[in-house]
Chain A
Amino acid sequence: MSNTSHHLWHFHGGLKLPGHKAMSTGSPVARATLPAQLVVPVQQHIGEPGKLLVEVGERVLKGQMLSQADEYVSAAIHAPTSGTISAIEERPIPHPSGLSALCVVIETDGEDQWIELAPLQHPRAKSPTELRQLIRQAGIVGLGGATFPTAVKVNPGPRAKIDTLVINGAECEPYISCDDMLMREQADQLISGCQLIQYMVSARHCQIAIEDNKPEAIAAVEAQIKAEGLSTIEVVAIPTLYPTGGEKQLIKVLTNREVPSDGLPSDIGILVQNVATAVAVHRAIYLGEPLISRIVTVTGEGVAQPQNLQVLIGTPMAELIAQCGGYHKDAARLIMGGPMMGFSLRTDELPVTKGCNCLLVENSAEQLPTTMPCIRCSACAEACPAQLLPQQMYWHASSKNFDLVQDYHLFDCIECGCCSYVCPSQIPLVQYFRFAKTEIWNQERDRQKSDHARIRHDFRQQRLEREKKEREEKLRKKKEMLEKKKQQEAEQGDSAPADPKKAAIEAAMKRVQQKKAAQQTDSNDEQ
């Protein structure tokens, strides 16, 4: 149901950024070629890593579970294609600090042979709990980039009442277009996924929010809703303004309500899911397919043929770039995600993960801007969607005054980059805020450690004291017993002639003396 006259609200600040999206939307989503080797990290989600189910040398089929989610906040991973496991070892993964982590390496056999799938014809015959279990089995995580396990998110608990399901198709970061293409090409699956999630959380309404710079996507989804004659799902075209796609900002725009700083959207009756996640839910339930691939936007001035690709998880990034015609000669930076919040990678020898929505290749900037001192112009505060005062936070963060920087609500910073973007002094503000957060976390950890140590020390002290007391008590009791005994004996022995012990000792002494005297006379005789 189209609703163009929907009343919308604003969040503070935000930026109108050049989109650069048309660059990668010229051709339909192509299938990435099957690589010879897939490197599938065991942990691609927020939460605990899963438990490995496979061994080196084992042959796996497409869709076979490689690790299972044992903990509640965890997600399973699956073999993206059929092949043989050649290694289970630490490999570099896409991470801001260039870390390595446990990966399952699969030599693909080119057969792409599926395991037996169990599609559901009538999901509504199942309970929401059963459907959540299927989502959990399918290893679905938030595909907008946060990679939080979806099975957990669609279980808001008995206390929270979800009124509105918001499907996030804003895609507000420049260059990225994977959600746009998904909405254009898979609107039917998207709507089906929305209905499933709506059913699971019993939300009365569903709003699919799409920035108004994606008219094709809006039209496609609206047409699908109209064709199915749905009345509880509507498309809301929202103004293109970065970072409208942020969960809290999107809710503000749609409802004028603010998610409490220390709360979740479910506290105000809202659940937000990304469009790609909704499609993954549809595929998991209706087709029985686990999450083994995603659409990745390969784009930027530094790549020859920008486009969107349907990519198997674990595909090396270098192969995607090669499929897109390779690098431009000035290519200088590889970014996973968008230019505002993505992180830059040291190398392209890394696997695509569930959270990888975009590979952006930037050419070298002609001139690096010089950083100047802050002139307190407040352009950052005017741009901040969290209504913070970045320049004050910067001041306190750079002087390591971590108490004050928290007074200025450091932890409400979503690191969207608006402040750094507008700063005339070219100060990398977000970098300072990340630094402050890390420092505070470290301090907190140290404090907890020392608290723990103090508690242990206290316990030891207590134990020692207790033992000492026990010993003393024992001693005292023993003494008392003796005393009592003595008294008793004294009471009894008042009438007795003398102390028998003393008499015995005296007798012994006498005997010794006599013996000595006898020896002496003997020795005298000998002399």
Chain B
Amino acid sequence: MQFKTATSPHTTLPGSVQSVMFKVLLAMVPGTIAMIVFFGWGVLINILLASVVALSCEALMLWLRKRPLKPYLFDGSALLTASLLAIALPQLAPWWLTLIATAFAIIVAKHLYGGLGFNPFNPAMVGYVVVLISFPREMTQWVPPLVEGHVLLSFSETLRVIFTGELPLNYTWDAITMATPLDTVKTQLGLELSISEIESHAVYGPMFGAMGGFGWEWVNGLFLASGLYLCFKRIIDWRIPAGVILALLVFSNVFALYDYASFTPPTFHLLSGGIMLGAFFIATDPVTAATTRKGRWLYGLGIGSFIYIIRTWGGYPDGIAFAILLMNMAVPLLDYYTMPRAFGHRWNEFPHHHKGDEDEH
């Protein structure tokens, strides 16, 4: 009897890129629901809008690059980029802002660099930074969480605000949007208020909640929980979020102990803004992260450090996107210099040099 031949191994796990991506997407659901609860329908509308744009751009680029549509369009990577980006954008951001950010992420940051697996920079963060730098005013259209004196807009009202920019009657932009806790701290510290004064302030006080910002505590808590689940399932590497959190903890503790009036406490750093989303869902994007164990520690620690530095001394209230992009740049270096010791080798075999280079002379 005749047979077809193949090379070993003749069996593999049934896993796929698609299943990895969809597991991560699924894990984002609880945190996203919390965001919708606290920040309104804008979150959901942004996600849907970004997903449509991302899939369209993905299809366009695949067609232009003459790649097969089916395996790539449904691999889940474009949807994941869209969702991460949409959650990071302000809830009442105009539709064209989401469109520009998403299109830039997919077309430039992903496909112009070679598509899935070849992009050195995290596409979602590239898209985010592009609109953050280009449209700073629109990027402040954050909805304050559901606190006293504020009412969330209904679904249709939100839809109208996003697509037409028209506010419902009796509403002003000042009434429905508000600076985030991180932004507020930055501004008020600039006005020489102390942390405790800001947190007990009549206007800003309530939004700080119990630990890191009202609503944000829940959002971060849920992203943390589902992120830990992904680590446990080995879908993401725990070393990256551990590095991010560890660096933030060390920095914030050291500076808060040094001067608690001018530096926000560690709990605030960990539970406000998109820290848990960033640490567990964005920084762990395998394509743009370091690949070795040690490299991933350093990558996470680097991101955490940059976040603290940018938040505290930088020009932006939050620095997750910048921190991730900066560390993306360091990845080839990290990977090369953190190569593990191969079995049967000694440690001191580094740095490498090519025998041929020397033999020439």
User: Chain A residues in contact with chain B, CB under 8 A?
Assistant: 11-12, 96, 98, 174, 248, 252, 258-263, 318, 327, 331-335, 337, 339-348, 360, 362, 369-370, 372-379, 381-382, 385-389, 391-392, 403, 407-409, 412, 415, 417, 420-426, 428, 430-431, 434
Question: Which of B15, B117, B341 touches A376 (beta carbons < 8 Å)?
Answer: B117
Contact B342 A343 (CB under 8 A): no
Judge whether B342 and A388 touch: CB under 8 Å: yes
Contact of B3 among A12, A332, A341 (CB under 8 A): A332
From B115, B341, B343, residue with most partner A Cβ within 10 Å? B343
Q: Which residues of A contact B72 (CB under 8 A)?
A: 372
CA distance A11 to B10 in the complex (A): 23
Cα of A428 to Cα of B234 in the assembled complex, Å: 21
> Footprint of A on B, CB under 8 Å?
1-17, 19-20, 71-72, 75, 77, 115-118, 234, 237, 286-287, 289, 291-292, 335, 339-345, 352, 354, 356
Contacts of B15 in A (CB 8 A): 422-424
Instruction: Given A258-B343, A261-B344, check contact A344 B3 (CB 8 Å).
Output: yes
A424 in contact with B3 (CB, 8 Å) = no
User: In the complex, A417 Cα to B354 Cα: how many Å?
Assistant: 28
Known: A12-B343, A376-B287. Is A327-B11 also a contact (CB below 8 A)?
Answer: no
Smallest CB separation, B345 vs chain A (Å): 5
A370-B16 Cα distance, complex, nearest whole Å: 9
A417:B9 contact, CB within 8 angstroms: yes
Cα(A379)–Cα(B292), bound, Å: 10
Assuming A332-B4, A333-B6, A391-B291, is B19 touching A424 (CB within 8 A)?
Answer: yes
Cβ–Cβ < 8 Å partners of B8 in chain A: 335, 337, 339-344, 415, 417, 430
Contact A389 B291 (CB under 8 A): yes
Complex Cα gap A261–B346 (Å): 9
Note all chain B residues with C-beta closer than 8 A to A335: 8, 10
CA distance A174 to B9 in the complex (A): 11
Q: Which of A374, A391, A407 contacts B352 (CB 8 A)?
A: A407
A261–B7 contact, CB under 8 A? no
Q: A327-B1, A388-B342, A412-B343 are in contact. Are A340 and B11 (CB under 8 A)?
A: yes
A377 and B20 within 8 A (CB): yes
Residues of A within 8 A of B344 (CB): 248, 258-263, 386, 412
CB atoms of B20 and A375 under 8 A apart: yes
Contact A423 B115 (CB under 8 A): no
Chain A neighbourhood of B340, CB < 8 A: 381, 387, 389
Residues of the A chain whose Cβ atoms lie less than 8 Å from the Cβ of B9? 339-341, 417, 420-421, 430
A260-B344, A372-B75, A409-B342 as given contacts; A381 in contact with B291, CB under 8 Å: yes
Report the nearest B residue to A424, measured CB to CB: B15
Assess the A434–B291 pair: CB atoms within 8 A. no
A347 contacts which chain B residues (CB < 8 A)? 1-3
16 contacts between A and B (CB under 8 A): A260-B345, A339-B8, A344-B3, A344-B4, A347-B2, A360-B10, A373-B115, A375-B117, A379-B234, A382-B234, A389-B339, A412-B342, A412-B343, A421-B11, A424-B15, A424-B17
Residues on A with beta carbons closer than 8 Å to the beta carbon of B16: 369-370, 372, 424-426
Contact in complex: A378, B291 (CB < 8 Å): yes
